[in-house]
Amino acid sequence: MIDSVAALLASDNAWSLRVRDRLNALPPELVALVLHLGTTPEWWNHRHAVNGEWKRQVKAHLKTTGADSLVRDAVRELARDGSFHEETPQVLAHRADSPLDPRTRAAVRARTKGLAVGFLLAAGQLRADDGVGVDLALVGRKNSQAMDTWYLPDNALAGAAFTALGDLAGPDAMEHLWALYSAVPTSTPARPTLVRAVKRAAKRRRIPAEGLAERTVPRHGLGPDGALRMAPPGTGAEWVNTWTDTLVTLGADGRVTLTWLDAADGPVPTRAPFPLPRHYAKSGLTDSITIARNVARRIEATADEETRRLTDPAMTTRSWPWGEWVRYYRDHPITGIVTRRLNWQYLLPGETAPRPLDPRTPIDAIPADAEVTLVSTRLAAVDAPGLAPTDGAVG
């Protein structure tokens, strides 16, 4: 049982160094809150499920004067600067001066991370967002490899941030969750926690099933150009947990091409079932080959699902604000493929006659409050590339 705030604060952790002066000078009633938040290691595990009794006590502690600002400030410090585990010169200097042995230092760092998890989860119980959602979303991104700048991820912190956003009141938290759903890689261990948070928050806000469906279409790592390269580290690829060099592209016809870039005779494009090139050296690469094929299959399956969804006659009875339609339909790497094959129109405020909509229209060319509707669910024909399923490949 930890009975002092100091015992929760590692001297060789950057976040701990930023908050320790304030935490060590708290009045007794706020010390009780911090000590309670520090108990998360007793139950917070890979399942990222919040202990009900712990949450009930947090809500009681948050009624204390100063508790609200304390939680917000601690979360803001988690969001700023580098990774939670970043070894800055200051951190390394404190570690070198520490009288503790390595095992004890590691135990204190684990308690510090538990306290950080506690502050994140407590933020979800605040009565109002007032900006804490921005910090929670940033912590989630930094710890789930969902940023252009690389940070050392931490699944426990990411899961806590996602969980808190799922609990947080106000409309902004839902918008942060939608954005995270699109940005966080499917392979991230904390991704299931994010999915649960999105569903929980959407249900609480009574978002209809069709609204949830259109906002949670997976991207499978595809970029805006509908392509994903999977290759070993050091190649500049977006996905680096494979030892084959492959490129997955989604065509205008909704079909996927898997190109084996490292084939002996040069790149070999294939269609489903994505056979291997002739003389392909697959020794020791079975797992990577399976990963590449599975990603390609999942992308194609999602494209098929989106085709069925968008060609449902019920879609012609709905309307979308222009900006929302651009975000979730036109600019989505998979949904956009189907969207561009359909006939759309938009209606300006104050007008009664809709205008034809060219999907290529720049977003700032139409007012944000214009309403977009689907004219017909009939798909326009596309020129599919002349690629047979086994071109250049043998299986």
| Of residues 28, 36, 78, 41, the one with CA closest to residue 55 | 36
Transcribe 222-257 into DSSP letters: --TTSEEEE--TTS--SB-S-SS-EEEEE-TTS-EE
- The SS3 assignment for 155 reads helix
> Which residues of the chain carry a pLDDT beneath 70?
236-240, 384-395
Identify the pLDDT of residue 259.
97
Identify the pLDDT of residue 239.
64
> What residues are paired with 344 via a beta bridge?
357, 374
β-strand pairing of 319-321 with 355-357: unpaired
Domain-wise residue ranges, the chain: 5-215, 227-309, 312-376
- The SS3 assignment for 29 reads helix
Q: Which uninterrupted H or E stretch holds 345? A: strand 343-347
CA dist., res. 38 & res. 34, Å (int): 6
Other Cβ atoms closer than 10 A to 172: 17
Strands of the 319-321 sheet, one edge to the other? 319-321, 371-376, 343-347, 355-357
Identify the pLDDT of residue 391.
47
**pTM, two decimal places:** 0.85
CA dist., res. 340 & res. 330, Å (int): 7
> What residues are paired with 345 via a beta bridge?
356, 373
Spatial CB neighbours of 68, under 8 Å, sequence gap ≥ 6: 62, 126, 127
Identify the pLDDT of residue 238.
67
Chain segment 145-197, per-residue pLDDT in tens: 888 787 889 999 999 999 999 999 999 999 999 999 999 988 889 999 999 99
Pull the structure tokens for residue 174: 């839902």
Chain segment 308-331, per-residue pLDDT in tens: 999 999 999 999 999 999 999 999
Type of residue found at 6: A
